[in-house]
Amino acid sequence: MEPLFGKTLEELQQVAGALELPGFSARQMADWLYKKKIGSIDEMSNLSKDARAALNAKYTLGMAPYRNVQTSTDGTKKYLFNTTVGKFVETAYIPDKDRHTVCVSTQVGCKMGCLFCMTGKQGFQGNLTAGEILNQLRSIDEWEQVTNIVYMGMGEPLDNLEAVLKSLEILTSAWGFAMSPRRITVSTIGIIPAMKEFLEKSEAHLAVSLHSPFESERKMLMPIQQVYPLEEVLQEIRSWDFGRQRRVSFEYIMFRDLNDTPKHVKELARILKGIRCRINLIRFHPIPDTPLDTSTNERINAFREALNDQGIVTTVRASRGEDIYAACGLLSTKELVKKQETGKP
Amino acid sequence: MHQHILSEQTLTFSEEIAEGVYLLGFSRDFSFRAGQVIGIGIEKDGPRRLYSICSGETEEEVRILYNVIDEGYLTPRLSDLGQGDTIWITEPRGEFLYDPARAIYIASGTGIAPFYSMFRSGQFGNKVLIHGERYLERFYFYNEFSDALGDDYLRCCSGEEARDVYHGRVTDYLRNAATLPEDFKYYLCGRAEMVVETRDLLIERGIPFNQIISEIYF
């Protein structure tokens, strides 16, 4: 049985066509799926009884409740969802005054193998569908309050581009959730062809994981540098007109004595010259057996000031949900996957 | 940008060299550096994936070694192609290249390809090669490596036992090795799980992380 949730209007039109339903029923389905809250196809009350029966015979609604939730002392929540490939993903909900951000996952695990990231340690178990990405939003307790969405959870979003673009279409279309793309940020480590396609087909903000302006250092931290060097990523970004509303930002995790020196400030200013952007500094959240260390708060603040002095808008992202492993770089379902594969409780 | 320049190539051969593992080839009309990757697609505007070149820099034919991913889009279709069929490729790219420093090359599965390319390009001095596979038939280039490298070529086979083959995974071998030279570089290539696990193990065994260079297939 195929899920309806996560289908674009065009796909719903195909569903309607295949079942010989009236042409307008695709919009009615989209309305029920993305604008109202229902628990079954039978609740699509403006569809005929026969239409609902025909849908029920081939499709499921496709929304699934979360499996577990943990709450941090700072109010951050970490949700656990099952996926259709029989695995698990985590989603973080981060409240901050009027801002309610959800950090969604796009893959079970990750293939990118960044040295500092917990998700990479579990390997890769599969891509999420557009419906599974959206379900992480629609099925959390705080859905009605969500103001911002960041594609920064488990996985590399642009390694699952098709599903990510589809989910963005559903989120931002008038027939879908009708959210502004300016409230959505998609993160990438810089897979250039996919980044180009994302920039062409979506209006959401772009965030690029930078972490070191020096090629040799970045290569040690992020194997992707071997194939898509930062210099070419920046060259691609420079070739785009982001306009006044769309934003490109760079994520920069602070590692003590590795990438937090004045030399790094100087080089960052040099390579980012001419790009209207901001840098988000992120305190490193140590993962087990890591050879990396966290920069001191003093060093992080000095780094921020030095970059601001160079004319680059730089902020320090607050660490949220660290006590429940919901903070940046800590999402992982490795233990659950391992238990499942070995059959041990 | 280089990765967007496409050229159409006619396959000179395509062969299943072990169960689910294919080697394809086409005439070389461009230059590349051993260790680099190219994007391959079967349609001009269709999806493309990156693969390490598995042949020498000056050979007439470019060869690509790949696994068929049953649930994938590209590789099941690619494996249906034969001599005379066409594919689309991008220009070569990548910095996972030969370095004259003393190094240990560690490959799993088709991750052997860039090392074989270096080997076929005469860029292999000073290196030890460790290759991990599940089945013996998958040590595709055993004869060549063995003849040229002797004891500096080690096979780790997790699924079968044989003389002169370490029985177990590459990570088992490294975990049990009496010593690992701390002043060597370590080049890792293969699937993410193997690369990450091996990198963690090397770090645990005292190898500085800045001496570990990884190429991950994604």
Give the H/E segment covering residue B114: helix B113-120
- How far, in Å, CA of B178 to CA of B191, rounded? 26
More confident residue, A45 or B5: A45
Q: Give the other-Cβ count within 10 Å of B128's Cβ.
A: 17
Last residue of a domain, one of B68, B90, B112: B90
Contact A206/A188 with Cβ under 8 angstroms?
A: yes
Are residues B61 and B119 both part of a single domain? Answer: no
CATH number at residue B38: 2.40.30.10
Q: Which residue has the tokens 């008038």?
A: A174
- How far, in Å, CA of A97 to CA of A26, rounded? 38
- Closest of A188, A213, A209, A210 to residue A199, by C-alpha: A188
Q: Which residues, 6+ apart, have CB-to-CB distance to A71 below 8 Å?
A: A77, A324
Q: Which residue has the tokens 């840098």?
A: A279
Are residues B80 and B127 both part of a single domain? Answer: no
Q: pLDDT exceeding 70 applies to what percent of chain A?
A: 97
Among the four given CATH numbers 3.40.50.300, 3.30.70.560, 3.20.20.70, 3.30.360.10, the one describing domain A68-342:
3.20.20.70
List pLDDT tens digits, range B74-87. Answer: 999 999 999 999 99
Nearest residue of A to residue B51, measured between CA atoms: A227
Residue A342 has pLDDT above 70, yes or no: no
Residues of A in contact with B216 (CB under 8 A): 111-113, 223-224
Average pLDDT over every residue of A213-230: 95
Residues of B in contact with A217 (CB under 8 A): 210
Are residues B185 and B213 both part of a single domain? Answer: yes
Are residues B118 and B169 both part of a single domain? Answer: yes
Is B98 among the domain residues? no
3-state secondary structure of A165: helix
Are residues B138 and B198 both part of a single domain? Answer: yes
End-to-end CA distance of chain A: 30
Is B81 among the domain residues? yes
Domain A2-60 carries which CATH code?
1.10.150.530
Point out the residue among B37, B203, B216 whose CB comes nearest to the CB of A223: B216
CATH number at residue B144: 3.40.50.80
Residue B166 has pLDDT above 50, yes or no: yes
Contact B67/B20 with Cβ under 8 angstroms?
A: yes
Active site residue A328: yes
Q: Which residues, 6+ apart, have CB-to-CB distance to A174 below 8 Å?
A: none
Point out the residue among B48, B209, B217 whose CB comes nearest to the CB of A291: B209
Q: pLDDT exceeding 90 applies to what percent of chain A?
A: 83
Contact yes or no for A111 and B50 at CB 8 A: no
Are residues B163 and B136 both part of a single domain? Answer: yes
Are residues B38 and B75 both part of a single domain? Answer: yes
- What does the pLDDT read at residue B14? 97
C-alpha of A200 from chain center: 18
Residues of B in contact with A196 (CB under 8 A): 1, 4
> Of residues A11, A20, A90, A117, which has the active-site annotation?
A90
CA-to-CA dists, residue A71 to A78, A95, A142, A324, B126, angstroms:
6, 11, 13, 7, 53
- How far, in Å, CA of A100 to CA of A245, rounded? 20
Beta strand A184-188 pairing with A148-151: parallel
Residue B145 has pLDDT above 90, yes or no: yes
Q: Structurally, how many domains does chain B consist of?
A: 2
Burial A251-277 (b: 16+ CB within 10 A, else e): bbbbbeebbbeeebbebbbeebeeeeb
Last residue of a domain, one of B90, B122, B145: B90
List pLDDT tens digits, range B61-117. Answer: 999 999 999 888 899 999 999 999 999 999 999 999 999 999 999 999 999 999 999
Contact A211/A227 with Cβ under 8 angstroms?
A: no
List pLDDT tens digits, range A102-145. Answer: 999 999 999 999 999 989 888 898 999 999 999 999 999 999 99
Average pLDDT over every residue of A196-216: 97
Structural domain containing residue B128: 103-217
Are residues B115 and B86 both part of a single domain? Answer: no
Point out the residue among B50, B210, B214 whose CB comes nearest to the CB of A223: B214
List pLDDT tens digits, range A279-305. Answer: 999 999 888 888 999 999 999 999 999
> Of residues A103, A110, A117, A328, which has the active-site annotation?
A328
CA-to-CA dists, residue A237 to A132, A248, A296, B95, angstroms:
29, 8, 31, 21
Active site residue A103: no
Give the H/E segment covering residue A248: strand A248-254
Contact yes or no for B208 and A291 at CB 8 A: yes
- How far, in Å, CA of A148 to CA of A85, rounded? 27
Q: At A219, list the tokens.
A: 């290569």
Q: Which residues, 6+ apart, have CB-to-CB distance to A40 below 8 Å?
A: A61
Are residues B32 and B121 both part of a single domain? Answer: no
Burial B144-177 (b: 16+ CB within 10 A, else e): ebeeeeeebbbbbbbeeeeeebbeebbbebbeee
Are residues B115 and B84 both part of a single domain? Answer: no
List pLDDT tens digits, range A170-189. Answer: 999 999 999 999 999 999 99
Residues of B in contact with A109 (CB under 8 A): 192
Question: In Å, how far is A290's CA from the nearest CA of chain B?
Answer: 8
Question: In Å, how far is B210's CA from the nearest CA of chain A?
Answer: 6
Are residues B142 and B189 both part of a single domain? Answer: yes
Is B130 among the domain residues? yes
| Torsion sign over Cα B203, B206, B210, B215 | negative
Q: Dihedral, CA atoms, A254, A259, A260, A261, nearest 10 degrees?
A: 180
Q: Which residues, 6+ apart, have CB-to-CB distance to B75 below 8 Å?
A: B22, B49, B66, B67, B68, B69
Chain B: residues touching A (Cβ < 8 Å): 1, 3-4, 37, 39, 48, 50, 93-96, 191-193, 195-196, 199-200, 203-204, 208-210, 212-218
Are residues B160 and B184 both part of a single domain? Answer: yes
Contact yes or no for A289 and B192 at CB 8 A: no
Q: Dihedral, CA atoms, B83, B84, B88, B92, nearest 10 degrees?
A: 60
Question: In Å, how far is A112's CA from the nearest CA of chain B?
Answer: 7
A/B interface, count of CB pairs below 8 Å: 78
Common-topology check for domains A2-60 and A68-342: no
- What does the pLDDT read at residue A286? 86
- What does the pLDDT read at residue A328? 72
